[in-house]
Amino acid sequence: QATVQELSNEIRRLKKERDAVILAHVYQRPEVQEVADFVGDSLGLSQQAAATDAKVIIFCGVHFMAESASILSPDKIVVLPEEHAGCPMADMVDAVQLERKKREMPGAVVVCYVNTSAEVKAESDIACTSANAVKVVASLPPDQPVLFVPDKNLGRFIASKTGREMTVWEGCCNVHDRLTVEDIQKAKAEHPQALALVHPECRPEVVALADKVASTTGMINFARENSAREFIVGTESGILHQLHKGSPDKKFYMASTKMVCPNMKKTTLESVHRALVTLQPRVSVPEDIREKAALCLERMLSVV
Ligand code: 13P
Ligand code: SF4
């Protein structure tokens, strides 16, 4: 059996041979992040997918991320190493349900979190990620009603930041939603000097206890730039790898050991290697849906 080092070297060699770029979300396993050309949050990854010259994109993340890459770069081969790496929150709204809701709200602007299927994006006016959600909603005409899908926690966070009334779907990320006020209070009691970094996918009462609410890249930048030496981490545990790399002399404590996304952990060095050898499984979107979904993503990218 190949060692991590051997497998990583072989992945780097194959990557050149295939003219492939490896994109990885910060929740991926550390060894997968280490072979990636770019590691980032959902926004950074979409920007990289839109900009790359490579022929092949190996997307180490979950399905909606690879799908977004394919929507933005339809001429590229997009490979998701683990076919069943999905996002349960993205499955909490489908196009039929969304169409029905839109009929109840004629004239509303539909804002979809990037954690949605291509079909839902095709039915939406503009996408957002956790990094640009407030900016995206603030850019909308002030008098138009807003429907936000599918994350109720992010939706409520945006509403509180923009002061805008929004109709918010009832979905959530069960990894972030399981973080409780008691978890944060306990971590703060154990580490009184630490600042709490919380993702806006967490419940409003948890967000209220945060010292900084941000996307994953926002948290990494904040920890690096802030003078504090210790931080409590209120997001998926894979982020620790980039937090330590960005701030090697600082301390990070998980707010809860429960914050592990099993879908993000499916991808291994073995599956990345297999993906480079076979260029399978591929992700693509039927052209009629892709065109509409691309408009929704491009509108987002033009706001940031
Ligand atoms: P960001 O990295 O954009 O903050 O997204 C968090 C997330 O849960 C992605 O699945
Ligand atoms: Fe989906 Fe939550 Fe996992 Fe992100 S962490 S992929 S939002 S389930």
Which residues are annotated binding-site positions? 25, 42, 87, 113-115, 130, 173, 199-201, 216, 261
Write the DSSP symbol of residue 194.
P
* pLDDT value of position 61: 98
ipTM of predicted assembly, 2 dp: 0.97
* pLDDT value of position 116: 98
What is the mean predicted confidence (pLDDT) over 25-30? 98
Q: Is 41 in the pocket of ligand 1 (CB under 6 A)?
A: yes
> How confident is the prediction for the chain on average, in pLDDT?
97
In this structure, the strands spanning 230-234 and 251-254 are parallel
Which residues are annotated binding-site positions for iminosuccinate? 25, 42, 113-115, 130, 199-201, 216
Q: Is 153 in the pocket of ligand 1 (CB under 6 A)?
A: no
- Residue in the block written with tokens 């497998």: 7
* % residues pLDDT > 70 (the chain): 100
268 pLDDT band (50/70/90 cuts)? very high
Cis ω for the linkage preceding 281 (within 30 of 0): yes
Give the pLDDT confidence of 240-249 residue by residue, as tens digits: 999 999 999 9
What is the mean predicted confidence (pLDDT) over 178-196? 98
**Ligand 1, atom nearest to 26 Cα:** 2
Spatial contact of 23 and 36, defined as CB atoms under 8 Å apart: yes
* pLDDT value of position 1: 79
Please report which ligand is nearest the Cα atom of 87. 2
How many other CB atoms are found less than 10 A from the CB of residue 199? 29
Q: In this model, does residue 211 exceed pLDDT 90? A: yes
**Ligand 2, atom nearest to 176 Cα:** 2
| Single-letter residue type at 297 | L
pTM, to two decimals: 0.96
Helix, strand or coil for residue 28?
Answer: coil
Q: Is 115 in the pocket of ligand 2 (CB under 6 A)?
A: yes
* pLDDT value of position 236: 98
Provide the β-strand partners of residue 25: 40
**Alpha carbon distance 41, 239 (integer Å):** 10
Spatial contact of 127 and 114, defined as CB atoms under 8 Å apart: yes
Domains of the chain: 4-86+264-285 (3.40.50.10800), 90-172+290-303 (3.40.50.10800), 179-254 (3.40.50.10800)
List own/partner pairs for 136-144 with CB under 8 A and 24 or more apart. 136/111, 136/300, 136/303, 136/304, 137/111, 137/162, 137/164, 137/166, 138/162, 138/164, 139/303, 140/109, 140/111, 141/109, 144/107, 144/108, 144/109
Identify the residue whose C-alpha is closest to ligand 2 atom 1: 87
How many other CB atoms are found less than 10 A from the CB of residue 151? 30
Q: Is 65 in the pocket of ligand 2 (CB under 6 A)?
A: no
**Ligand 2, atom nearest to 115 Cα:** 7
Please report which ligand is nearest the Cα atom of 42. 1
Q: What's the full length of the chain, in residues?
A: 304
Q: Is 132 in the pocket of ligand 1 (CB under 6 A)?
A: no
End-to-end Cα separation, the chain, in angstroms: 45
Q: Is 263 in the pocket of ligand 2 (CB under 6 A)?
A: yes
